[in-house]
Structures are given as C-alpha cells and as structure tokens.
Structure 1
C-alpha cells in the first residue's frame, strides 16, 4: 500500500550525520534552556518584586547599573523598591546564582530585629567579602565565628573610650577646625562674594582630624596647612566669574599618599557591593596599579607610625602615656602578647589594618555628614541663626571677647539645639540607606516569611524615617512581631508622618521636648522618633561616639565663625554621589563673617 512504511527505514533516516547533528544541537539547546531557567531568580513567595527582574539572569542589577550611569547611588535603589511597591517589605535579585534578598523599610521592625534578635542576624557573606577583599586581617572583613575576630577587635577597644575621645581626639579635632576657619577666611575673601565648593575642604579637614588622632600628626604636616600655604602663595587664587549666580573656582591641593589610599580602598569596597561577584571584583581590582600603590602606601606609612610608637613604648616602659590611636593599639598588642606568653607582633597585617580601619571609618562618614550639614544650614537660615544665638548664650565670655569657645568648655557643654541640628542632618542624610545582614533562622516580618540564610537589607532611611511608612494602619500592629508589640510606645512616634513635623523636611525641633523639671527648658530627646543612622544592637556603629564628638566640635566652630548665606536658587541642589558613603554631589557655601551679625 502507498502509506505503508518500514520502521527500519525511519531509523536509517535518523542514523544520518545530518540527523545526528540536529539531535545533538537540540539536546544542547534543551540543556542550555534548562540551565537558563535554573539561573533565573527564584522569588520568595508573597513578597513584592519587580516581575521584569525575575525574568532575566541579572535580576535587578541592570536597574542599579542604570542608576550608577546616571551618577546616582546604587544602594538607594533598594529603598526605591519599597516606594514602587508601596510596601514595607520587598525583594530584589542580585544576579546569577544569587538567592533573592529582602529589603525591610519599617523603623520598628528593623529596630526590633537589630536590638532584640541580633544573635539571629549574621554579618552576612557579601558584607564580609566586600571588606575582606581589601582588609582581610581587620575584624570588619571577618565572620563573627572567625577565631581571629575577638583578638582583632580587642586591639582597638580603647579608641572609643571617654578618656581617649576627650584627651586625644578632641584636642586634635579642635586645632584642625581652626585651620579650616583660616582656609575659609582666605577663600571667602578671594571669592569676592561668590559661592565656592567646600566639599573637598571638608574632606581635608576630616582627614587631618583622624590622622592627628591616629598618629599624633604634627600640624605643619596636615593637608589643610599645605593647602593654606599653596593658596597663600598665589596672588589671585580664585577664578571669579562675573555673575553672582556662578561659582568661584579654586585649584585643588595635591593629596597625600595616605589620603589617596583611603580614597582608593573606600571606592573599592563600595564598587564591590554593586558587582555581580564581590570576590571576582576584588581579585581583578586589587591587581590594578592604583590599588597596589594604595596597599603599599597604607602599609608603609602606618608601619612607620607604629615603629615610632614601639620605640616610645620601649624607651618609656611603665611610664608610657599613649598620645594617639596607634599608641593605644601598640600598647594593647604588647599587653596581649605578655598575657599569651608570646612575642608581640607589632607590624602584623592585623595591627596595620585595625589602624587603617580607624582612619577609613572616621574620615569618610564624618566627611559625608559635614558636607550635608553645611548644605542644610545654608538652606535653613532660621535654624542657622537660632543655633548661632544658642552658642553665643552658651559661651558668653568667649563671644564678648570675640574669641573661639574654649575646648575645655566645649567638650563638657550640653547644647540640646546643637544636638538636634546634627541629629536632623543624620536622619535626613544618613551616610548609608541600608545595612546588610543575613538571617540565621526564619523570620516573620509584617506578615511576610523570610527564610533562613536570606540576605536582608535593613532600611535606615526612606519609609517611616524620611517618608510615610506603608504598613496599613488598621491591621499594622497585629502584623508586628511579638517583641515589637511588647515594646510599643518606647519612641515618641514610630513613623515621622504621625508627628507634627513632616518627615521629609529639615526641622531640628522634632528632637526637642520640655524638661521634666517643669522649668520650661528644652532638652534633646533621642527617642522622639525613627532614627537608626548608626545602626543599633550588637552591631551598633563602632565609631558612633567619635562621630558625634567631631560633628559637634566642627559644627560649633563653623557656625561661630561664619554665616552660611542662602545660595542662589540655581546653585541649590540635592544631587548625590555614592562611594563608601553617600555624599552630596556639590557642597557649595557662600560665606560671610559671623562677627558682622
């Protein structure tokens, strides 16, 4: 019959070279498709996410890359996810082979997790890897269970004590702030009533402060003193435009090798966090000439400072009095070695990197906050005027004599309005929008299930902090964790939109309340509402006390000496850049003497 066929003939047809090739190609294609499907993100059930991101291997990385190309910060994308989905919890996808991560944007739940369940939150591999790639011997790059963690952290335990902060750091800070006063008086005169960018000047200041505290740096060797001498040697150091709505330009100073090392290593940590693979990023980035030089300069310069400290320790013996952070670190290593019955290793990677971590953390975060401080008080003239009046009332003798506030009085003074002004800058302009952790157990957060070993990004700004939260009012309390409900009411408000002060506006008064004594005096209330810019719990920012001390000293001296005039509208912007911390893209100031008002 015409439609009869022989199965053998069909098999014979398949057994041709062309057919075998076709079958092989089909098998490869099928395998690739299966592999492709396996590499696509796997969303966690019930948690909002970008559907487009779930359909591509790179997940949300293209969105973050687009923000970086626009000159914006990648980490702010995480907070924006919450706004997009109008939810207190959202998930995002970090790229090939990475599990879904979860962003939590609700102050009370974030605080509850950090304060009361910190033991159930690990630092997280990505967090540790980002630092381990540049500082493997520092505790910040170690897992908590690392046997080296405890001893490494112990080397720096003296650096946040009251005695060190007041006896070593405060005097170092004060002298350097007086240097920036001198610099800005020079610049203000040369700018001829024009604005100029003060961002790098504040970077020089915070570098000098931390170097002086870390290594007892002589004033003549500071970045600010070098810059003052450079500009002073130029007859007309500023390029002054004809229009008052344009900015006067000044030449920059040549950065010291240590400053360059701080910048390069800080940028590397930040860059690794937005890379598909942190370990691969550091593997290739560390081979670049710039990074090789940064590591060499870091180790060489700090080794010399350590050598000087060791020499003094041996010469002075029991009468050795530490005068810098490195002195304290050296003394700690000597004591640890004696206790353990070994020879001290003063020049180990751990010793060097603990000292460098102190520099890096103390310089960049404070630089970010001060850059926002000058912008905020320039834009809020009423706040600036009130702060200056408050300072003059606090130090009346110095004001009468037209002198600087005495350091001995300044470090002891309790100035609630100054505290509120600084706290409000930190609230609106937190140096980082989130902190990264990893769950050690399953968490139930506001009705969402977060599995064990999930990377969580805990919000420090955005919903409930600087914008209204997204938890439904009627059912919200029932969705909270048991421990969160138990501690309800410990803050003035748990969402700034519930207060008398709009959450997105700069209003220091939100942090003030009448004293309980009934005298009518206002006191600073750190529990007035959502604030976690220094984190909290067992991983609260190690340098918190140092940051507050420096911010109060610098803010006082700057407002005491200068009026930060309102900028022309075309120069007032809130664009930002993101390195290790978020900073304003421009920190323009238009200064005049405070003694004239």
Structure 2
C-alpha cells in the first residue's frame, strides 16, 4: 500500500522509534537478483530469524549463510527432499492422510444433508497428520483425521442439519486432539512468546529412542528409512562411522531440525490448500477445467472406478494441475515476503542502503498480483541484474489480479506444457536460501487437489456466508503473516 501511495517500487518505513528504517522492495527482477546473485551483500534478517530462536534455537532457519553450521544443518536433512524419498516415503503417507480427509468430508456431506459446513479446520488437521507421518512414525492413535472420521461414521444425524434454511451451516462434534499433536499446534500458534515444550521434547525423544534401537540392529532391513527422522539418524550413523565416534542422536540440532520440518511443513501447507479450496469454489470454471484435466490424466482410475494412487499422482504430468497449483501458491500469499539484511553498504535501484538495513522483498502487491509501479531505467539496476535480463520469463501484468492458471501454460506445436517462469513468484524464495521444503509443499498440494477434486465438487458459498468466510480468512491470514515472513527460507 505504501509503495502504491508513493508511486515507487522502493520505499522506506519507520517501524520502531530510534531504530533504522526498513526498506520495502516490490519489484521481482531486483528481488530475484538479490536472492540469486547478491548473496554476499544480503543475508538472513536477524529480526525475523530471532522469531524462531526461542522455539527452535538450533534450526538453520535463523542462521546466516556465513555461519558454517548453516550448510551442515541443511546437509543433515537434505535427503528428505530427494525425489526418491518424496515419491517412495513421503507420498504414500501424505496420500493416506488426505484420503482420511476424503472420508471425513464424505461423512460430513452425509450428515449435512445439503447444508454447508466449514472445511478449514479439517484441512488444517489433515495437513498435520500428513507432515507428522512424513517426519515421525505415525500410529493410528496419533491420526487426528482418522479419529474424526470414526466419530462421524458412528453418528446417525446432526440436529442443525434439519434447519429449514438450507444455507445454515452445520456444526459437527470434534474429537479431542492427542497430546503430542496438540503441543505442536500450541507451539506454532504462540511463536511470538515461546518457551520450550516438555511435551514436544518428550515426543521427539521417545521417537528417537525407538528409531535408535532399530538402527543399532545388525539387520540391514531395519536400516531402511521409513520417515524423515530415520533418514536423519541414518545420516548421523554413517557420519559417526566415518569419524570413528559414537553416533549422537539426542542432540539439540536433530531435535530442532525435525521440529522445524514439522512446523514449517504444516501450517503453511494447510493455509495454502485452504485458500486453494476457496479460490476454486469462487472460480467454478477453473475447477471444472481442472477436474476434466484430472479425468483425462488418470484414465486407468476412471476405467477401474477408483481414485488415482499415490504412485500415479507422483508420476503423471498434468500441465493444468501444475498451473493451478502455482496460481494458488501465488494468490494465497501464504508467505507475504522475504526479509534480508544488508551485510555491507550497498546500492538498491540507485538508493544508498547502509549496512544493517532490513530489506523486505515483497511477494505480493505491485509486480506480483497487481501491475508494476512505473518503469525502472536499466541504468538504475545492479550490474548483475542487467546482465541477467534475458534469463527470466516475460509476462503481461494486465491481468495479474485475476485467478488465471492459464498464465502458467505455454503451447508449442499444439502441445501444452507447464512453465514455472511464466509469472513472478517469490513464495519459496530463490538461491541458496530458497525454501528447503519446496518440493514437499508441491507434492502435498498436488495430492490434496487430486484427491479432493476427484471426490467432491466445491460449490460456491451462499451470499450470506461469503462475507463471514472472507472476514474469517482475512483474520487468519493477518495473524499468520505476523510470523510467516521468511519461514520458507
């Protein structure tokens, strides 16, 4: 808003008394240049990194790249984002969690008898089940969504569903959340005044002890990674053997990197998916086109009257599905921007930026979901930005405010393909600090879109509920933005 008010892609704001101003940049090319090619000039903002230090003090998210531990910590968890691990370990667990969500919505649709019902909490809990199962061994008693499905399956009717007003929402009974998942939700909702959680520590310690017992076995089959925690412990075991020392399993580093995967991979994914459901219900033509693309993309599932398998979803390329995902990620604005600090005195679009200045690289507003502000002369850009001019995509900003997956589709010889450079996107960051979990986020969103749209039609909200739902989303989005700046990187 300030950039538009001052008609400039770069502005400064005075946030706190007696402190340096923040510089706000709403321009994709220059932001891309900072993250890809000016990493010695700009690094992690301490102000935003400190948000996480009270909760996960030894997680790489708050470390600067000059810290030798940054790369070491990333290496510790890097295998959990390889295609093999994602497809063979993560995908089946994510698939199972969201199949349970299909079951919950099937029961709710039965009990609602045509009435609408809230879906955001269900998505929130299913996303928690999904990321929990990817990181830790998830037992049936730990699945929040399965417990809810069982409760609803045992319910014969809901009183509110008998209301004569068909637009009256139905409220369902909720199962209590088990202690360990509940502690995760409490911690992620309280980042701004965080201590440690004994419940969280006990949960991770117990899981580590069980895994350590398996990895100490001489049986090779016991060393197969069944979740991200196993993968991290296997890496530590291999390092200990190389260095001729005892493996160190119960370290602060392992605790914090595991828990960091949990909180970063849960709330952000569920928020994006929930916005995706809202956008698709508001744009029925896009939903219809996507469903048709899914039906065409999984012909075996159609023939056999079943939903696509996890393996089919991972291995099938459907350009319009990829395009819709990217459009949802851009328009949901789960991460509103990325924070950097100037490590040296430098220049940005012709303006002197003193060392220590916080720079916010916005991923929304002008040049992203609105037309850019003015035209920046090339000579005001950095040398590296000018040299890279021909290496980025080009797009028409005229319709940037619309929900339009087609913008990510290119055609050549009549064949459609997905082009991730068709529009500016900074949600996951770029360069060496780019989002570690980007592949996981795409996989989760892909699975949830396929399963939910295969089994349900997301209908438009009645007018009486539209305003309330929008207000509810704004409140949730505003709260989440207070700590999500830069959570991905």
TM over 0.5: yes
Report matched runs for 1:42-441 at 5 Å: 80-237=1-158, 239-240=160-161, 241-269=163-191, 271=192, 282=193, 285-286=194-195, 295-319=197-221, 320-441=223-344
Q: 1:144 to 1:482 in 2, by over 3 A?
A: closer
The match for 1:277 is: none
Contact 1:365–1:581 (8 Å) recurs in 2: no
Q: 1:323 to 1:215 in 2, by over 3 A?
A: same
Q: Tell whether 2:402 aligns with 1:480.
A: no
Q: 1:362 to 1:465 in 2, by over 3 A?
A: same
Gaps of 5+ in 1: 1-79, 272-281, 287-291, 584-597
Query: Shift in Å at residue 115 of structure 1?
Result: 1.0
Partner SS state of residue 457, structure 2? strand
In structure 2, distance between residues paired with 1:337 and 1:229: 45
Query: Shift in Å at residue 542 of structure 1?
Result: 0.4
Contact 1:111–1:536 (8 Å) recurs in 2: yes
Contact 2:44–2:340 (8 Å) recurs in 1: yes
Q: 1:553 aligns with which of 447, 450, 453?
A: 447
Indicate the larger mover: 452-461 or 215-224: 215-224
In structure 1, distance between residues paired with 2:173 and 2:111: 12
Query: Shift in Å at residue 581 of structure 1?
Result: 5.1
The match for 1:513 is: 410
Deviations 1:265-306 (A, max 9, x none): 22333x3xxxxxxxxxx4xx53xxxxx5xx111110111111
In structure 2, distance between residues paired with 1:103 and 1:132: 24
Q: 1:82 to 1:259 in 2, by over 3 A?
A: farther
Query: TM-score when scaled to structure 1?
Result: 0.76
Contact 1:490–1:527 (8 Å) recurs in 2: no
Contact 1:191–1:248 (8 Å) recurs in 2: yes
Q: Tell whether 2:460 aligns with 1:566.
A: yes
In structure 2, distance between residues paired with 1:150 and 1:113: 19
Q: 2:416 aligns with which of 515, 522, 527?
A: 522
In structure 1, distance between residues paired with 2:482 and 2:269: 11
In structure 2, distance between residues paired with 1:214 and 1:457: 31
Query: Shift in Å at residue 220 of structure 1?
Result: 5.0
Deviations 1:147-170 (A, max 9, x none): 543433322121101111011000
Deviations 1:349-372 (A, max 9, x none): 211111111111111111011101
The match for 1:535 is: 429
Q: 1:336 to 1:93 in 2, by over 3 A?
A: farther
Q: 1:410 to 1:189 in 2, by over 3 A?
A: same
The match for 1:452 is: 355
In structure 2, distance between residues paired with 1:567 and 1:252: 23
Partner SS state of residue 355, structure 1? helix
Contact 1:208–1:222 (8 Å) recurs in 2: yes
Contact 1:422–1:551 (8 Å) recurs in 2: yes
> How many pairs are equivalent?
475
Indicate the larger mover: 253-262 or 182-191: 253-262
Q: Which has the larger radius of gyration?
A: 1
Contact 2:136–2:229 (8 Å) recurs in 1: yes
The match for 2:397 is: 497
CA RMSD of aligned residues (A): 2.0
In structure 2, distance between residues paired with 1:507 and 1:570: 26
Query: Shift in Å at residue 116 of structure 1?
Result: 1.1
Partner SS state of residue 210, structure 2? helix
In structure 2, distance between residues paired with 1:96 and 1:264: 32
Deviations 1:180-230 (A, max 9, x none): 111101001111112111111001111111111111213453111111122
Q: 1:504 to 1:510 in 2, by over 3 A?
A: same
Query: TM-score when scaled to structure 2?
Result: 0.92
Query: Shift in Å at residue 174 of structure 1?
Result: 1.1
Q: 1:197 to 1:238 in 2, by over 3 A?
A: farther
Contact 1:438–1:456 (8 Å) recurs in 2: yes
Deviations 1:306-348 (A, max 9, x none): 1111111112454411111111111122222233333222112
Contact 1:378–1:567 (8 Å) recurs in 2: yes
In structure 2, distance between residues paired with 1:300 and 1:561: 38
Contact 1:104–1:456 (8 Å) recurs in 2: yes
Partner SS state of residue 195, structure 1? coil
Q: 1:231 to 1:368 in 2, by over 3 A?
A: same
Contact 1:191–1:238 (8 Å) recurs in 2: no
The match for 2:364 is: 461
Deviations 1:433-476 (A, max 9, x none): 11111011233222322212111111111110001111x33x53
